[in-house]
Amino acid sequence: MINVNGKLYPTVSDITKVSEEERKGEDYVGNTSGIFLVTSSIFKKTSGGSDFTQAVVCDAQKSVNVNIWDKKVEAGTLLFSHYEYNPNYRSFSLKPIRIVPADQVPEIESALTPHFEIDNLQSCLKYLIKSVKNEHLKRLLEEIFVKDTEFYASFINATAASQNHHVGRGGLFFHTISMTKVALNLISNYPKLNRDLVVTGCLIHDIGKVKAYTDAPIFEYTNEGKLENHVVLGIKMLARFIDRVPNFPEDLESVLTHIIASHHGQLEYGSPVEPKIPEAMVVHFADEIDAKLNAVFNALDETESNTWQRVAMLRNDIFKFELDGEEEKE
């Protein structure tokens, strides 16, 4: 709940934590309308010709897809709105009471903007850079994450995506460190992997997302992001950073370019090339594990035990299985 002028309004987290069986009628949380931050919107018309908006609304912890009836609502706006859940379509709909540009109420915008805690991750990044033994790779990482303070400030505040995973301020930084930890666990099982290449590849694989997405609270694709994709943007940025490192080996530049180009794994998922070296495979697998598990856990957080929940990123239903208390004790 969020306090606005002494009145408590439910947010996305409040309306989704209620079990599906109890989501009955309009304004089912305390019989009170809610407050929602719109981060993405597409304008459409019903079969009868009425305007409506397909949107993503959020609070600091969660986002959901909604239909906003009889209105065209821009991304970056704040809605005071009635809400209702349709169990047949397993979807939420909103009926706005008041629409306000989010930047006119910055304290509410800030409270509802998704964000990740990253303070403890900065020391982790410093350790990872320091642990790289190859001097060319270490120098490259220092150019990107230490010396280029403008890029670093953008990187630690950027989102990892607009909808599917790690959406929010700091999401890209959180995802990058998280997947690097996943990759390090794989390295411990496969010592033939080049650790320096894997760590560097993980840290740089998504640098193009700094330019691919807009800043909070909208987190939509920029023109560059739509035209070139974060993979292409990342490859171009890598080339510029490498130009700052004297005598950087050409074959090493090719390998790093390949890691960025192949980290989505398959051509149909946006990779210009599939992984062709073991280290590129590890970067791809770690990226996929971290992104998909984040999407799954976000979907299951407010789901009751032993029930199904749709995960849009996987285009599939996922089952939340939990042992009962007696079985857990065993």
CATH code for the domain in which residue 279 is found: 1.10.3210
The DSSP code for 304 is P
Q: What is the pLDDT of residue 283?
A: 97
**Residues 295, 165 contacting (CB under 8 angstroms):** yes
Kindly state whether residue 150 falls inside one of the protein's structural domains.
Answer: yes
More confident residue, 103 or 249: 249
Are residues 81 and 126 part of one domain? Answer: no
Q: Is residue 161 part of a domain?
A: yes
pLDDT band at residue 192, thresholds of 50, 70 and 90? very high
**H/E segment holding residue 135:** helix 135-142
Instruction: Say yes or no: 98 and 125 in one domain.
Output: no
Domain with 139 in it:
119-296
Q: For residues 96 and 80, is the Cβ–Cβ distance under 8 A? A: yes
54 lies in some domain? yes
- Could you tell me the maximum CA-CA distance found in the chain, to the nearest angstrom? 67
- Using the predicted structure, report yes or no on whether residue 327 has a pLDDT greater than 50: no
User: Are 242 and 147 within one domain?
Assistant: yes
DSSP secondary structure code for residue 267 in this structure: G
170 in any annotated domain: yes
Burial of 110 (0-12, 13-18, 19+ CB in 10 A): middle
What's the domain count of the chain? 2
Residues 155 and 269 in one domain: yes
- Name the most confidently modeled range: 56-60, 89-93, 116-120, 289-293: 289-293
Position 246 in a domain? yes
In this structure, the answer to whether residues 218 and 177 fall within a common structural domain is yes
What HEC string does 218-235 produce?
Answer: CCCECHHHHHHHHHHHHH
Cα gap 214→225, rounded to integer Å: 9
Alpha-carbon gap, residue 126 to 230, rounded angstroms: 24
Whether 99 and 243 map to the same domain: the answer is no
Same domain assignment for residues 106 and 251: no
**Of 77, 93, 112, which residue is a domain's last?**
112
Let me know whether 272 and 140 are in one domain: yes
Looking at the fold, whether 98 and 144 belong to one and the same domain comes out as no
Whether residues 196 and 214 share a domain: the answer is: yes
> Rounded CA gap, 302 and 310, in Å?
12
Distance CA 179, CA 145 (A): 17
Between 327 and 60, name the one with better pLDDT. 60
Mean pLDDT across the chain: 89
Q: How far apart are CA 45 and CA 171, in angstroms?
A: 33
| Residues 151-185 pLDDT 10s | 999 999 999 887 778 878 889 999 999 999 999 99
pLDDT in tens, 202-236: 999 999 999 998 887 777 888 998 999 999 999 99
- DSSP states along 157-206: H--S-SSSSS-SBTHHHHHHHHHHHHHHHHHHH-TTS-HHHHHHHHHHTT
Q: Does residue 312 lie in a domain region?
A: no
CA angle in degrees (0–180, nearest 5) for 119-121-122: 75
Tokens at residue 295, please? 């999407």
Q: Helix or strand or coil: residue 217?
A: coil
Residue 96 near residue 79 (C-beta atoms within 8 A): yes
Asked if residue 277 lies in contact with residue 166, where contact means CB atoms within 8 angstroms, the answer is no
